[in-house]
Structure 1
Amino acid sequence: MKKAQQILLGTVLMMMGLNALPLSLNAQQTKETKATSEDNLNKKDKLGKKQGMWFFNMPEQFGDPSYMEFGTYKDDLKSGLWYKLSKERQLISIETFKQGVLDGQAQYFDEGRLYCIGHYRGIYSKYAYDTFMVTNPVTLNDTMVIISSDRGYTKHGLWRYYNPVTGHLVKEEEYQVDLLLREEEFTEPAPRATPERPKLPHEGGKHKGWDAGKTSSKKSLIK
C-alpha cells in the first residue's frame, strides 16, 4: 500500500470522526505481518485470503466515475462497515456487510449530504432459493415468500429518505424481504419568511426619523 493512500485513509477517517470505529490503521492485522503502517493494509493470509483493512482506488470505467472504497475483510469476505467516497473525497455510501453480503444499516449521500437511511437483510442459503415468512402489518397474516439466493440481499425494514439540502424527512418506506408494505410521503415545512429589519432613525425618510433642522440654532435637532 502506498504511503500516500495510507495518509489519505487516515485523513478521511479523522474528517469523518471514524477514529472511534475499529477502522484505524493499526487495528487490523494478519498473524504473519508485523505491526507497522506498511503492513496493515491490503494483506492476505497464508491461504491467499484477504484479511483486515483493504483500500481500493477505482478508476473511471464504463461511464461510471472513479471512487475510493475501504473496509475490512474476514476470510476473503467483506465484513462490517464499508465506506465509499467520490474522487472529491465526499461520502457516497456507508454500508454494512456480513459474510460478504449486504446485511444491516446502509446510508447514502448526495455530494456528502445524507439523503437515505435503510436496512438490508442478507440471504445466506446454500440452496438456489430461500424462504421467508412475511407478516402483513394490517391483518397480521403470515405469507411465505420464496426468493432466489442469487439476489444476495433484500431491502428489509424501514427506509427513510431526506432532502439532502434541508435535511427534512420526505418519504418513508417499510419493506419485508423486498416487499413494500407501507409508503408515506411528507410535506416539507414552508421556509420561514425573513423578518424585515426595523429601520433605524436616520433611515426614516423626509418626515420620519431625525433630521438636521433648519433653525436659527444649528445645534438643535427637530423631529
Structure 2
Amino acid sequence: MKWIALLICLICVNTGFSQWKNYIIGAKGDTLNRVDQTDLKQGKWFVHVDPLRGEPGYEEEGVYKDGKKTGTWRRYSLMGDLLAVENYRFGNKNGTCTYFTVAGMVREESWKSIDPQNPYDTIQVPDLHDDTKVYTRVIKVDASVVKHGTWNYYDPSSGALIKSETYVLDKLQEPAKKVTVIDAGGNPTAASGTDSTVAPANKVKPAAVADYEKKNSGKKKIRVRDGSTGY
C-alpha cells in the first residue's frame, strides 16, 4: 500500500508540473519562475541581475500573471538593501511606488495604469481654487501608464520633505497661490488664484490728486519740503 500511495503522489506531482514549460524550486521547496506552455510567466518570480557596464546589479521578487507584473514587487541591492517597493497592474506601475538609498527614502511616486481593453477612466478632479469642490470626469487615456497623484521628494539623511508635485493623468498641476487684492480703502484682502497684488479697477482718485497729476504730467519729479530745517 505504501508503494501504491507513493506512486500516486509522484503521478500527481508530475501532472501538476507538466503544465509548466519551465520552473525552478526555491529554497523553501516552493515553485518559482514558472513559464506556462504558451511562454507566459506565472506566479512568484525571483530575478537576479548582475552588474553590467557600470550599472549596479540587483535582485527583485514579485508575482507575474499571464506574463505581466502584478501586485507588489520589491527590489534589493546585491548587498540586500531595499531599493524599491513598486505596485503593478496590467504589467505597469500603479499606485504608490517608493524608492530608497542606504541612507533612507528618497522618493514617493504615484502612477495610474490604464486597462488596454478599456482606455476610458473616471477620475475625481479637485478644484485648485476651492478645496471643497471636486469634479468627476470621464476621459480617454492614450498612454498605458501615467503619472497620477502626489510625488514627494525627500532628503534621505533627515527624512525631510524637499519637494512635492501633483499630477492628474500626466499633467503637472499648478498649486493654488495667494492673491492680495487692494480694496477701495487701500486695505489688502486675500483670495485664491495666482500670487500677485491687484489694484481694484473701480478705485476713484481724489479730485485734488487727479488735478495735481494732470498739471505735472511729463515733468521731472518735483522736490517737496519734508519739514526738516537743515540742508
Q: TM-score, normalised by structure 2?
A: 0.54
Measure how far apart 1:40 and its partner are. 2.0
1:137 aligns with 2:128: yes
Partner residue in 1 for 2:16:
32
Partner residue in 2 for 1:181:
173
Q: 1:153 aligns with which of 145, 158, 162?
A: 145
Instruction: Please give the alpha-carbon distance, in whole angstroms, between the structure 2 residues aligned to 1:131 and 1:102.
Output: 16
User: 107-116 or 70-79: which moved more?
Assistant: 107-116
Instruction: Please give the alpha-carbon distance, in whole angstroms, between the structure 2 residues aligned to 1:99 and 1:118.
Output: 18
Measure how far apart 1:171 and its partner are. 1.8
Q: Is the 8 A contact 1:32 1:45 kept in 2?
A: no
1:120 aligns with 2:111: yes
Which of structures 1 and 2 has the bigger CA Rg?
2
Measure how far apart 1:100 and its partner are. 0.7
Residue type of the alignment partner of 1:115: V
Q: Is the 8 A contact 1:70 1:83 kept in 2?
A: yes
Listed as ranges, the matches of 1:9-20 within 5 Å are none
- Per-residue CA deviation, residues 86-141 of structure 1 (Å, 9 max, x unaligned), is 122211111000121111111011226112223100122358x8677655522767
Q: Is the 8 A contact 1:102 1:121 kept in 2?
A: yes
Q: Is the 8 A contact 1:132 1:177 kept in 2?
A: no
CA RMSD of aligned residues (A): 3.2
Aligned length: 151
1:102 aligns with 2:93: yes
Residue type of the alignment partner of 1:123: I
Residue type of the alignment partner of 1:113: G
Residue type of the alignment partner of 1:120: W
Instruction: Please give the alpha-carbon distance, in whole angstroms, between the structure 2 residues aligned to 1:61 and 1:132.
Output: 42
SS in 1 for 2:63: strand
Q: Is the 8 A contact 2:128 2:175 kept in 1?
A: no
Q: 2:156 aligns with which of 141, 160, 164?
A: 164
The 1:57–1:112 alpha-carbon spacing in structure 2 relative to 1, beyond 3 Å, is farther
Q: TM-score, normalised by structure 1?
A: 0.56
Q: Is the 8 A contact 1:132 1:146 kept in 2?
A: no
Q: Is the 8 A contact 1:51 1:75 kept in 2?
A: yes
The 4+ residue runs of structure 1 with deviation greater than 4 A are 33-36, 129-136, 139-147
Residue type of the alignment partner of 1:104: G
The 1:61–1:130 alpha-carbon spacing in structure 2 relative to 1, beyond 3 Å, is farther
Which structure has the highest strand share of the two? 2
The runs of 5 or more residues in structure 2 that have no matched partner are 1-14, 19-24, 177-231
